[in-house]
Amino acid sequence: MDSRRFLRISRLLGEDAVRTLSESNVTIVGMGAVGSYALEVLARSGVGHLRVVDFDTVGITNINRQLLATESSLGQKKVLVARERILDINPEAAVEALDLFAHEDTLDAILAPPIDLLVDAIDSVTPKLALLEGAWKRNIPTISSMGAALRTDPSLITTGDLMDTRGCPLAKQIRTKLKRREVGRGILAIYSTEPVRFEYREAEEEAHREHNEQILDRGRVRKVLGSLPGITGMFGLRVGHEAIGKLLEMKQNNKS
């Protein structure tokens, strides 16, 4: 590996940290607004093995907030765009692109062989529950993003155990349903405590119904939520930053 590529990281954290990150294996599920920015952090921090998972293609409505969405990437599979971007940042990275929808039947493909860390950037409840339950029951360390849409105050983005979250309707729904599945503590959540005030617009009323993000949730029509690029980007950057810290922490704990 060209030592110049991650020189600033080694100057801050040391050569051992750079080596640890280059040997780490992370799976990111969801290449949308949050996931794409989390991936950027991991790639630019030198994480050596990355598995990216998403079933979607880049659509015109993604452009306001998703890092992978540009005029030139419209219509392309998100995982393929992600793979190209990672290798453009770090040609020595090992990248696996899985064009899959996360649910019970695909968990083995997503989570095996064993990985060091899972990043959950899914914004739909059903696949998110399946993924979090599957990872928790496989003892895979997990960082999960909760609701980034509808927020406007970046100062209220915080972290904590999923079971301790407050003020986030998505987090409340996820933790309640996970408890019923006998899933306990140990999932790190990135969430906002900002009160949510909004009006849903039904997907049928939208002008661009053909785009996947509005239609696909295993056949159900999804409601479209407004979101800002700064907030969703900050969620993703926070997720990526926490992932780097977790990888280094686990390595240190293994040495102890």
Instruction: Give me 32's structure tokens.
Output: 């949308």
Can you tell me the distance from the alpha carbon of 163 to that of 72, in angstroms, rounded to the nearest whole number? 41
pLDDT on residue 256? 65
pLDDT on residue 1? 67
- Cα–Cα distances (Å) from 172 to 162, 176, 179, 193, in that order, read 9, 6, 11, 12
pLDDT on residue 221? 52
Burial of 4 (0-12, 13-18, 19+ CB in 10 A): exposed
Q: What's the pTM?
A: 0.90
| pLDDT profile of the chain (256 residues), mean per 10 | 88 96 98 98 98 97 96 98 98 97 95 95 95 98 95 97 96 96 98 78 40 45 80 98 97 82
pLDDT on residue 114? 87
Q: Please provide residue 202's backbone torsions phi and psi, each rounded to the nearest 5 degrees.
A: -65, 145
pLDDT on residue 2? 73
Classify 7-198+229-255 by CATH class: alpha beta
